[in-house]
């Protein structure tokens, strides 16, 4: 379609900011051989976050066992787990002086527990360094394995995030190896088996309708999901799914009002919102 390769609107463009702080974060990540989703997923907010001494750590490598068509993280050639990574993450968190750490990962369907025990060990190592640091985890679906979910629940993160990403009708196109109801039930299970804050993130612009978004909000209210983020999908390359629509900022404001009226307690909706963007601010509001 002709409108599938539209020019990026000005409100989605972010300038390149380089400072001593951004250099510090990059050097620290290099020293510990750590990955961030900021780099791997080409997040438009990377420079802003780095300048504030924050980053979302990407654990278990930077290659994924799945191949979602919206995501810039590569698949294939999966490396073995780095058993020293949890301690490296904890040391990096300490050196950055973080009060709030966000830990996410690639999907590791090759591992028996999907990497849940690795998440738990990262949490444990950070707690050993400073038990006052708040921790948010953003995990894959672990194929719906409840034992894996329990492993992370028992490690007691402050926020347990799992992104549903898009509406059900677009899963086959955007997330062929995932399942909408599996993700919904994943979030539901956390809420029913812990007092941990639950969170999920979604994208707009892949071809969803307003009615589909509203129904998804209703599904999230039904499972008592505490925090929902919504931002504009930006195609990383021409080989990824095209953008069908760029939403205007005012449309996000309207959708946020609808979501809150439906019963979602906390929303972060804007063109540049990403799942971990300003995560500490959102947590403080909860």
Task: Note the pLDDT tens digit of each residue in 152-210.
Answer: 999 999 999 999 999 999 999 999 999 999 999 999 999 999 999 999 999 999 999 99
What does the block give as tokens for 271?
């063109």
**Cα-based torsion angle of the residue sequence 105, 108, 113, 116 in order, rounded to the nearest 10 degrees:** 0
Total structural domains within the chain: 1
Confidence of residue 239 (pLDDT cuts 50, 70, 90): confident
Find all residues with CB under 8 Å of 206, minimum gap 6, and list them.
70, 166, 170, 173, 174, 233, 241, 243, 244
Q: Does residue 258 belong to any structural domain of this protein?
A: no
State residue 41's pLDDT score.
40
Q: Does residue 247 belong to any structural domain of this protein?
A: no
263-284 pLDDT, tens digit per residue, is 999 999 999 887 776 666 666 6
State residue 3's pLDDT score.
43
Please state whether beta strands 63-64 and 134-138 pair in parallel, antiparallel, or not at all (unpaired).
unpaired
Q: Does residue 237 belong to any structural domain of this protein?
A: no
State residue 286's pLDDT score.
62
State residue 21's pLDDT score.
65
CATH code (residue 86): 3.20.20.70
State residue 277's pLDDT score.
64
State residue 40's pLDDT score.
41
State residue 34's pLDDT score.
85
Q: Does residue 47 belong to any structural domain of this protein?
A: yes
54-63, 240-249, 271-280: least confidently modelled range: 271-280
What is the average pLDDT across 135-152?
97
State residue 99's pLDDT score.
86
Q: Does residue 81 belong to any structural domain of this protein?
A: yes
Confidence of residue 7 (pLDDT cuts 50, 70, 90): confident
Q: Does residue 232 belong to any structural domain of this protein?
A: no
Where does residue 144 rank: exposed (0-12), middle (13-18), buried (19+ CB within 10 A)? Answer: middle
Domain containing 47 equals 15-199+272-285
73-87, 113-127, 252-266: least confidently modelled range: 73-87
What is the average pLDDT across 95-113?
91
What is the average pLDDT across 30-43?
64
Strand, helix or coil for residue 239: coil
Confidence of residue 25 (pLDDT cuts 50, 70, 90): confident
Say which residue, 78 or 143, is predicted with more confidence. Answer: 143
Q: ∠ CA 273-274-279 to the nearest 5 degrees? A: 95
């Amino acid at each position: 379609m002709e409108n599938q390769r539209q020019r990026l609107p000005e409100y989605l463009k972010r300038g390149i900011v380089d400072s001593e702080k951004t250099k510090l974060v990059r050097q620290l990540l290099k020293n510990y051989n750590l990955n961030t989703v900021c780099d791997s997923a080409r997040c438009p907010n990377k420079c802003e976050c780095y300048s504030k001494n924050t980053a979302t750590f990407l654990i278990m490598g930077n290659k994924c066992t799945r191949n979602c068509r919206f995501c810039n993280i590569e698949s294939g050639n999966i490396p073995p787990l780095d058993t020293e990574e949890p301690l490296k993450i904890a040391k990096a968190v300490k050196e950055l002086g973080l009060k709030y750490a966000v830990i996410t990962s690639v999907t590791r369907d090759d591992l028996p527990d999907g990497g849940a025990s690795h998440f738990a060990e990262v949490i444990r190592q950070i707690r050993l360094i400073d038990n006052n640091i708040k921790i948010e985890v953003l995990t894959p679906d672990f194929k719906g394995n409840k034992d894996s979910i329990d492993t992370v629940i028992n490690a007691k993160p402050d926020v347990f995030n799992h992104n549903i990403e898009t509406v059900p009708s677009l899963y086959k196109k955007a997330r062929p190896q995932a399942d909408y109801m599996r993700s919904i039930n994943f979030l539901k299970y956390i809420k029913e088996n812990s007092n941990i804050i639950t969170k999920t993130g979604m994208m707009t612009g892949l071809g969803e309708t307003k009615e589909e978004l509203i129904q998804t909000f209703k599904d999230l209210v039904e499972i008592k999901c505490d925090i929902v983020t919504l931002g504009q999908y930006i195609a990383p390359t021409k080989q990824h799914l095209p953008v069908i629509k760029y939403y205007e900022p005012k449309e996000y404001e309207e959708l946020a009002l609808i979501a809150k009226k439906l019963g979602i307690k906390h929303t972060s909706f804007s063109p540049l919102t990403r799942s971990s963007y300003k995560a500490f601010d959102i947590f403080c509001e909860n």
